[in-house]
Structure formats: C-alpha cells, structure tokens
Chains A and B, each alone.
Chain A
Amino acid sequence: MDPTSAKMIGAGLAAIGVAGAGVGIGNIFGSLVSSIARNPAARDQVFGIGMLGFALTEAVALYALLIAFLVLYAV
C-alpha cells in the first residue's frame, strides 16, 4: 500500500470517533429540551449547564478530528 492511501484510510478511521460525540451532543440537547419543556422557569439555569456540557462533549469530538487532521496533513 502506498503511503498516501494509508494516510487517507487512517484519517478515515480516526474520524469514526466523532460518531460517539454526535450521540453525546444529541443526548445533551434532547435532555435540555425535555427539561425546559417540563419546567420552563428553569430555562436560564439549565441553559448554562447545557452549554457547558455541549462544549465539553464537542471537545471530545475535536480530539478525534484533530488526530485525523494530523494524520492527513502533518505526518
């Protein structure tokens, strides 16, 4: 196998990790919507926590994406 195609395959494999974060972010916003629907008065407090959870989960996706980019362009 030539190195370029090996790189492409490796980057593709690394990007699989993003799927897990997709599930996580969907979960966070699903819970956020249902909790605001149950108790609209709690919106302001819950929204900040939801955003924090979103940022922390998105960071995990970016770790995977970062590895993919590094495999593609830096190695």
Chain B
Amino acid sequence: MAAEGSPLEQFQIERLVPLHIGSVDVSYTNSALLMTIAVVLIGLLLIAGTSRGALVPGRLQSMAEMAYEFVSGMVDENIGHHGGREFFPLVFSIFMFVFFGNTLGLIPYSFTFTSHIIVTFALALFVFLLVTLVALWKHGIKFFTMFFPPGAPIFMAPILIPIEIVSYLSRPVSLSIRLFANMMAGHTMMAVFAGFTITLGIFGFFPIAINVALYALEVIVTALQAYVFTILTCLYLRDAVHLH
C-alpha cells in the first residue's frame, strides 16, 4: 500500500515465515512477532516479579505489584468489588497487552501492532460481545431496559431508544478507532517530522527538537491510551453487571 520512503511505510506487514493452510494465509508476520514478544515479556515480568515474594519488594517485584494494584484499583472502583473481581484477569490481560504493544512500538525500527485497526477491532469486538453476553446472562430479558434511561418521561421513548441502541452498537467501533488512530497518527507525525529534518538541511535541528517533544508525548500517550481502553472496558462491564 505505502510507497517507498512514505511515512506510512512503517506500518507495512511483512511475512517472516510464509505459511498457508488451504487458501488461508496464516503467515507468521512482524505483527505476530511483536505480539509474541509482548506476551513473553509480560509473562517474564510477572513470573520473575512474583517468584521471590519478598516483604520489601525489589525493582522487578515493585513493577509487577504496581501494575497489579493499578488495574485492581481500577476494577474495584469502576465495576465494584462484588461482581467485578471475576473480570479482573481479563481486564489485567487487556491492559498489559495494549500497554506493552504501544510501548514496544516506540522502539525505533520495531512495529506497533496496535496501529492496525484489525488488532484493536478484534480486542474491542471481544469486549463488546463479552459485555452483551454477561448482561444477557445476568439479567435475562431485563437487559433491554438498559436502552431506556430510568426516570426519563415515557413519551421520549421513540427518540431515546434508537439513540441508545446506536450508541451501544457504536461502542466497539469507537473503542477500536480511538486506540488505532492515536497510535497511527502519532507514529506518522514523528515520521513526517523526521522527513523535514533531512529536507531542511542545516535547519534540521528544529524538527529534531520537535520530534524529541513528540516522542515524550507519545510515551505519555501509550500509557494513557492503554488506560483509556481499560477504563472504558471497566465502564462497559459495570453497565453489564449493574444495569445503570
């Protein structure tokens, strides 16, 4: 898709190990490689961090504990301790996966798998289906009262119910596009400014300075977008567990 030297070239997917099952292309790509690295790193961090179990935690153990407590607090605050605890492993996995994906993408010449809409959309669609199934399983037919805000006058129903249904159905789209657009626009912007550095010659110092600032912003954005993805997952799950 992207031409040689274009800022979008960094999002090119390459087949590292070509593999076909029938007519389906299941090649091991650079995207899959980065996902594997992310999962292995998360596993190593958590296993190595919790194996000692020291009373006074070392650096590795503090990192693992901080990540755990951060997500744990988020789940307790937003879904509630009762009814929310069973979703903690899922929410924690989503947070760590997205966070590591975003952060690994910041390493020069690596690849950001969260900058592809199919990856983020798969995550968001999974969350959406889970939320719907949990709500149906917990509340049965009462789930459909979710589309009518309590306390609203009944004659508003013909307007309110379609709006609520559309906003409910657009959740996976907005959730996935937010993460994907942030990652893709941020990385493209850095590539564009890097291109200015070469064309401006001696004045190329200024785009480099801007790029340093952009890089700092991107580091914040990686954590912030992982946080936003996770907290919205929590809010959707709260809707499913408690209905309003």
Contacts and interface: CB of A to CB of B under 8 A. Distances in A.
Contacts, number: 48
Nearest to A74: B8
A55 B182 CA distance: 9
A59 B181 contact: yes
Interface in B182-197: 182, 184-186, 188-189, 192
A59 B178 contact: yes
Task: Give the interface SS of chain B, mostly helix, strand, loop or mixed.
Answer: helix
B1 A63 contact: no
Nearest to B224: A55
B6 interface: yes
Interface stretch (A2-10, A25-33, A35-43, A65-73): A65-73
A73 B231 contact: no
Interface string B154-191: 00000000000000000000000110011011101100
Nearest to B11: A74
B182 A69 contact: no
A22 to B, nearest CB: 15
Nearest to A59: B178
B2 A63 contact: no
Contact of B182 (A51, A52, A62, A73): A62
Given A55-B224, A66-B185, A73 B178 contact: no
Interface of B: 1-3, 6-8, 177-178, 181-182, 184-186, 188-189, 192, 221, 224-225, 227-228, 231
